[in-house]
Chain A
Amino acid sequence: WTGRLAAPRPGYAPAAWAERCLPGSSAGARRAALRLRGRTYPGPPAVAPRSLLVAADLRGAHRACLSRGGEQRAGFAAGDSWICKSVLSEGHQRTVRKVAWSPCGNYLASASFDATTCIWKKNQDDFECVTTLEGHENEVKSVAWAPSGNLLATCSRDKSVWVWEVDEEDEYECVSVLNSHTQDVKHVVWHPNQELLASASYDDTVKLYREEEDDWVCCATLEGHESTVWSLAFDPSGQRLASCSDDRTVRIWRQYPPGNEQGVACSGSDPSWKCICTLSGFHSRTIYDVAWCQLTGALATACGDDAIRVFEEDPSSDPQQPTFSLTAHLPQAHSQDVNCVAWNPKEPGLLASCSDDGEVAFWKYQRPEGL
């Protein structure tokens, strides 16, 4: 791969599977609590466009990555090594921007710049495209499955967020088209246990949506970031939301339901969201992704300065005004922008990351003593 396209910085990069593990720089990358684990694979080196996203399915077993050429690769863990099991090259005509595993693990949704979202059904090691969701006017930036498994959300550069419903016969229908954002929507994520949807946009806001009668409505707008909000992550309980932005900060927001003890005012029956913590000064470039470990509560960030950082909440801090400490900082995690980080949902401390440098890396994080 030579060079980048002279495009306005999209902040993403298509991905491919790294067929060799990270080079010797990994040895120098040891930091207090972060160690690299990987193996060397035989075979040709990856000719890779850049690495866009990693998604771990809920059982922790599979990983899927996306590629710029429209390919997707799904890899499976087998012991300590990762092997590429399949390449899905039919299906999209342009960059595949995001993939998401369904809660049951049998389906994979892929969102593409060709304005479609493909739904793939897993059949042993094979994947079959069961349907294509059309309707967005231009590039689809993100896709996410609701924990219930029968709702899907997509968002696009056309400023809209779409909610889809799937029935027993694998038929998908659009349930709502939400036009609340005023700019490109970068990311959508569902609440872990409520039917609440969150979206992040180039318009510097985060919006939350819920169902009302037979339609979906925007029930909250979180303002505070000074630039594009790239990604979102709910904490394990769903009471807090982390957002990361081009303004180089991570913000933690907390939900205050009506009648809350802290006396935070709410309008009607919708909870209010307040920013309770801002992590600033840690990142020197745009933060492209944030991931909140559902097992340990650790917060990982993927940054444009090629580094990965992990934060943990100080156990003694006030829940209404928490403080987070930087517990791990891996400067040259990759040789280019880190685009995505994802915690393994089953194995604590196992983190995957991918980068513009075309590689997917796996990391083992150990919480420092005393936490």
Chain B
Amino acid sequence: MASPFSGALQLTDLDDFIGPSQDCIKPVKVDKRLGSGVAKIHIEDDGSYFQVGHDGGTRKLEKAKISLDDCLACSGCVTSAETVLITQQSHEELRKVLDANKTSAPGQQRLVVISVSPQSRASLAARFQLNPTDTARKLTTFFKKLGAHYVFDTAFSRNFSLLESQREFVRRFRGQADSKQALPVLTSACPGWICYAEKTHGTLLIPHLSTARSPQQVMGSLVKDFFAQQQRLTPDKIYHVTVMPCYDKKLEASRPDFFSQEHQTRDVDCVITTGEVFKLLQEEGVLLSELEPTPLDSLSELPRRDDSTEETVLPSPGLPPDTSTKPLGVSHLLENKHPKCERLPGSPGSQQVLPPEAPPLPRCHRQQVCCHLRPRPSPGAADSRCSSGSAQEPTSHQGGGSGGYLEHVFRHAAQELFGVHVTEVTYRPLRNKDFQEVTLEREGQVLLHFAMAYGFRNIQNLVQKLKRGRCPYHYVEVMACPAGCLNGGGQLKAPDTADKELLQHVERLYSMVRTEVPEDVPGVQELYKRWLQGEGSEQAGRLLHTSYHAVEKASSGLSIRW
């Protein structure tokens, strides 16, 4: 079975000689009792194990459990059964949560937030022959129809990731005299690369990794910290799903560093790939192109909650659809959701949106008031809640389909460190097109030497250079997939198009989106002030940065190598 993980991850995880009980480093704590001697084990009919002690007393033995989290720590284990692990974090899981929301009591319901990556959107756009804006809007419709409450774009959280990366590089460049490991700075947004680095060259590489969180995980912080506060919910009451172009992102979301012990919840609860979104569309019998667009949600344009408003936890299902006479608190929440209702030609909502055999809508009140999604027209109610617009088209960043780290850090560093304003970043391909470099020169002297290294072979060469102390770069954007995130393992394939052509098409659609400079995005600066209490604050450090851990290779008697 071909592994869906990136090449970097595959090479380290699969091993044809390892049996299930060998090399698994998941520690199972066994309470040793003195003088117990040899115990017998008895197997019940239902398959549970009981230990029978000397005194005849029985004790039920705990089943050893392996989870996706453990997968990260393992240096060669049960991952031949990785399909099992992946399904634990998949669109099926999402379905379960959405279904549970429909049937559970109000106190048990969760607010479902879906964050879509620009790369996944571009892939879907290519498949359905849509432009990125329409794709974004129609995806919003689809997810909300399924039961999601909010649909965001990770390009917004990417602003933070880029800004933090820029600041971090300048700081480390300035401090390079004090620390030999300050440079080169290696990007860390790609979890395939991070898993490989932690498992095979932990001590060598970890000091070089950028501590800035990836856009997915910044979104995790935004949703589970800022947005949760906004919504007056505890983070565990929000179910945060991200749509990503690869499977490695599932492992990133499972990292213990992104699990809040306090609230017992992950920053990102579930990652689904572009392919899984496609499966969901198929299962619903929906063609994305045929859906009506819904205005985009935006984290930066959520109106402020007054302290005078009533506290509301998730609403009871019994709320009447017409809420224009509701207390301020609830309608405030509703305003968030539908800032600008687009009046559709013909009757609002109804057959244009839902195929006849569509499943019944979830009973969350938020859904009921949305004029697009209700099967019956909602007279006037929608209008009173429309407030003036949020940005109705998605935005992106320059510098390629993997986030643009090299380009942003380069421009910022050139300006900050040398006062040079770079108009155009020129890439020079080296050995192959996935390995390119960029230099800033002045009077024949090289001031900045940056590179991008995509794909396993280039990562190998980079690591070897680092090992021998022969790495000439100050900053390297490292991605595990050749051609970057647009070519991730979870992106859609087209049976009738050559891979190369499809990739070029997806790249074109990706670059159609208007780009912004992170410093100029108003919502971002506001959030730094409101939510993080300033750049470089303790909050910012905690919520926008992370750390890495080298994985020790287990040596057990069972792992004799021939």
Expressed in whole angstroms, the Cα–Cα distance for A196 and B530 within the complex equals: 62
Contacting pair A175 B16 (CB below 8 A)? no
Contacting pair B460 A138 (CB below 8 A)? no
- CB closest chain-B residue, reference A132: B464
What is the minimal beta-carbon distance from B1 to any residue of chain A, in angstroms? 9
What is the minimal beta-carbon distance from A169 to any residue of chain B, in angstroms? 12
Contacting pair A174 B457 (CB below 8 A)? yes
What residues on B are CB-neighbors of A160 within 8 Å? 11
With A10-B562, A176-B457, A179-B7 known as contacts, the answer to whether A138 contacts B432 (CB < 8 A) is no
Residue from B11, B460, B561 in contact with A158 in the complex, judged by beta carbons closer than 8 Å: B11
With A177-B457, A183-B16 known as contacts, the answer to whether A135 contacts B431 (CB < 8 A) is no
Contacting pair A135 B464 (CB below 8 A)? yes
Contacting pair B10 A179 (CB below 8 A)? yes
What residues on A are CB-neighbors of B456 within 8 Å? 177
Contacting pair A138 B15 (CB below 8 A)? yes
What is the minimal beta-carbon distance from A323 to any residue of chain B, in angstroms? 37
What residues on B are CB-neighbors of A10 within 8 Å? 562
With A173-B431, A174-B460, A177-B457 known as contacts, the answer to whether A137 contacts B12 (CB < 8 A) is yes
What residues on A are CB-neighbors of B229 within 8 Å? none
What is the minimal beta-carbon distance from A93 to any residue of chain B, in angstroms? 11
Contacting pair A137 B11 (CB below 8 A)? yes
What is the minimal beta-carbon distance from A165 to any residue of chain B, in angstroms? 8
Contacting pair B562 A177 (CB below 8 A)? no
What residues on A are CB-neighbors of B15 within 8 Å? 137-138, 158
Asked whether A369 is an interface residue with its Cβ less than 8 Å from the other chain, the reply is no
Contacting pair B16 A113 (CB below 8 A)? no
Asked whether B14 is an interface residue with its Cβ less than 8 Å from the other chain, the reply is yes
Contacting pair A214 B431 (CB below 8 A)? yes
What is the minimal beta-carbon distance from B252 to any residue of chain A, in angstroms? 22
Asked whether B433 is an interface residue with its Cβ less than 8 Å from the other chain, the reply is yes
Expressed in whole angstroms, the Cα–Cα distance for A134 and B464 within the complex equals: 8
Asked whether A170 is an interface residue with its Cβ less than 8 Å from the other chain, the reply is no
Contacting pair A94 B432 (CB below 8 A)? no
What is the minimal beta-carbon distance from A228 to any residue of chain B, in angstroms? 12
Contacting pair A214 B562 (CB below 8 A)? no
Contacting pair A177 B11 (CB below 8 A)? yes
Asked whether B426 is an interface residue with its Cβ less than 8 Å from the other chain, the reply is no
Contacting pair B433 A214 (CB below 8 A)? yes
Asked whether B387 is an interface residue with its Cβ less than 8 Å from the other chain, the reply is no
Contact bitstring A1-19, B, C-beta under 8 A = 1, else 0: 0000101101000000000
With A159-B14, A179-B10, A184-B16 known as contacts, the answer to whether A173 contacts B562 (CB < 8 A) is no
Expressed in whole angstroms, the Cα–Cα distance for A94 and B17 within the complex equals: 18
What residues on B are CB-neighbors of A175 within 8 Å? 431-432, 457
Contacting pair B561 A135 (CB below 8 A)? no
Asked whether B324 is an interface residue with its Cβ less than 8 Å from the other chain, the reply is no
What residues on A are CB-neighbors of B431 within 8 Å? 173, 175, 214
Asked whether A223 is an interface residue with its Cβ less than 8 Å from the other chain, the reply is no
What is the minimal beta-carbon distance from B562 to any residue of chain A, in angstroms? 4
Asked whether A215 is an interface residue with its Cβ less than 8 Å from the other chain, the reply is yes
Expressed in whole angstroms, the Cα–Cα distance for A283 and B307 within the complex equals: 88
Contacting pair A174 B433 (CB below 8 A)? no
- CB closest chain-A residue, reference B200: A137
What residues on A are CB-neighbors of B12 within 8 Å? 137
Q: Which residues of B contact A (CB under 8 A)?
A: 7, 10-12, 14-17, 431-433, 456-457, 460-461, 464, 467, 482, 561-562
Given pairs A5-B562, A139-B562, 17 additional interface contacts (CB within 8 A): A8-B17, A8-B562, A94-B561, A134-B464, A137-B11, A137-B12, A138-B561, A157-B16, A158-B11, A159-B16, A162-B457, A173-B461, A173-B464, A174-B464, A175-B432, A179-B10, A184-B16
Q: 8 A-B contacts, Cβ less than 8 Å apart? A: A8-B17, A10-B562, A135-B464, A137-B15, A174-B460, A177-B7, A179-B7, A214-B432
